Structure 1
Amino acid sequence: MPELSDAVELGVTELLANVVRHVPDRRCALLLLRQRTGVRVEVTDASDELPRLPDTLDTEAVNGRGLLLLDAMADKWGVSLWSGGGKTVWFECGGESAH
């Protein structure tokens, strides 16, 4: 699925950058799943802090665009909270509505 490689690479980079910036211990697990029609990526960390899209974006801001990029390039994405603490942020690319 080489047509998805740029989108998957960008999404992985953004999610890992969020871990480095926002998770105190910076540890995470990355899971790449090849699906019948595309790719699913999951990044799990120990933080309960939920990612959120910015309400506004300063055009001079150096960061803060990662989730906007993810929202634009992924077919769908979301967050799953773990009952023992932590979360998994995931996205999928591919399928009938692939970008």
Structure 2
Amino acid sequence: MGAHSARHLRRVLRLYLVRSGLAGVADAAELALTELVANVVRHVPGRRCRVCFLLQPGGVRVEVADGCPELPVAAGADPLGEGGRGLVIVAAVADRWGVTPYADGRGKTVWFECVGEAAP
């Protein structure tokens, strides 16, 4: 997974949301997705993940699953550092987010939800 993959996923997500009448949450969802994909690129050996977009009443849930058992932590970033803000950004733009470890301990799903009013 690399920068081109994140760009492609953002485009697919925006198209999915616009066609579903949820263009109002597209900016926030794209930003949060970008941060989760960046975390995979930076922290997951092999950079492999699965991404799922799930429509919900009035919003979307986005899941990024990987095979790395290490759980992400939203930490205070160094104000002059180049990283450490990803989950802080996700928390700021999403209505809800979380991490669900696999029962077998071999990975996790990091997810977020963006809720807005659907267009008629």
What's the TM-score once normalised by structure 2's chain length?
0.75
- The 3-state SS of whatever aligns with 2:46 is coil
Which of the numbers 8, 23, 26 marks the counterpart of 1:5?
26
- Provide the aligned length of Structure 1 versus Structure 2: 95
The match for 2:107 is: 86
Calculate the aligned-residue CA RMSD, in Å.
1.2
Q: Distance in 1 between matches of 2:30 and 2:92?
A: 14
Q: Distance in 1 between matches of 2:110 and 2:62?
A: 8
- The 3-state SS of whatever aligns with 2:54 is strand
Give ranges in structure 1 of 5+ residues lacking alignment.
Answer: none
The match for 1:35 is: 56
Stretches of 4+ moved more than 3 A in 1?
none
- Give the letter for the 2:100 counterpart: S
Q: 1:95 deviation in Å?
A: 4.9
**Whose strand fraction is larger, Structure 1's or Structure 2's?**
1
Give ranges in structure 2 of 5+ residues lacking alignment.
Answer: 1-21
| Identity value in percent | 54
- The 3-state SS of whatever aligns with 2:98 is strand
Does structure 1 retain, via aligned residues, the 8 Å contact 2:24–2:116? no
The match for 2:72 is: 51
